Amino acid sequence: MTPGYQMVALDAATGIPVSEFGNNGIVDLKQNADQQIDLVTGEIGLHSTPIVAKDVVIVGAAHRTGGNPRSRENVKGYVRGFDVRTGERLWVFHTIPLPGEYGNESWLNDSASYTGNTGVWAQISVDAELETVYLPVEAATGDYYGAYRPGDNLFSESLVAVDLYTGERKWHFQLVHHGIWDHDIPCAPILPDIVIDGRVRKIVAQPTKQAFLYVFDRETGEPIWPIEEKPVEIGDVPGEWYSPTQPIPTKPPAYARAKGFRKRFNRLHSAVKSSCS
């Protein structure tokens, strides 16, 4: 990958571009992206590596920090799969669903049409045997304010399992509804086989900034242990939309204290409220 969001294939022995891949060894990821991206100024790139599984190379997207976005609009961080030998695009997964696609109704007031981000900037994981790709999707524009994107906002801050060859959604779980705390998923999903109640289970375990570990059956997406939708405090920032509940795992226990997070977000909440007054 290059800073200009190009994917380059080189001969491993010589370093010479592979002429059969893309355009003389290069696939410009700002093109054929299901959206209009300025080839020079378009604000999108990637700082993690693509992942290669069987005959598919899968590429996510990264953006500038979402803490202080320039506007409510931004480039969308779609995920794409390409033929590893030719660079031909095989599929695209719309992390902000298009009209008629599953989850589009969770973006109220047509906010899906202009909201951006929701890229996968962390590493992607793949179970080659199940032919399943696990996408840890980041937050939508912006990290701390969501009045312009009311609703739960699928697939923002979600773990999404898609088919390796088609990109079709197999299952998903949204870890944060309508995120306004910068709790986007920061790392690759973990794919271990572990013994639970005397039998081996293929699981996917997703660490988070909240210090919760969300654990699912890799194939079905069923939570290994109950994840409860718990009522949460509703804020009072003018115009903001709040989810009345958030999903909280019952097991395993949090792996760090959350006190520091609460203080940080209370300060942010106060700052946003003051700026809106």
| DSSP secondary structure of 49-118 | --EEETTEEEE--B-S-TTS-SSS---B--EEEEETTT--EEEEE-SSPPTTSTTGGGSGGGGGGT--B-
Domains in the chain (CATH in brackets) are: 6-276 (2.140.10.10)
Tokens 């003018």 -> residue: 238
Q: Which of 182, 197, 217, 236 is catalytic?
A: 182
The values of phi and psi at residue 196, to 5°, are -130, 125
Whole-structure pTM value:
0.92
Instruction: Please report the pLDDT score of residue 67 as a whole number.
Output: 85
Instruction: Please report the pLDDT score of residue 275 as a whole number.
Output: 55
Distance from CA of residue 269 to its chain's centroid? 24
Q: Which ranges of the chain have pLDDT less than 50?
A: 277
Is position 182 annotated as part of the catalytic site? yes
- Under 8 Å CB-to-CB from 40, ≥6 apart: which residues? none
Determine contact, residues 126/51, Cβ cutoff 8 Å. Answer: yes
Residue whose C-alpha is closest to residue 115's, from 145, 154, 155, 74: 74
Instruction: Please report the pLDDT score of residue 66 as a whole number.
Output: 85
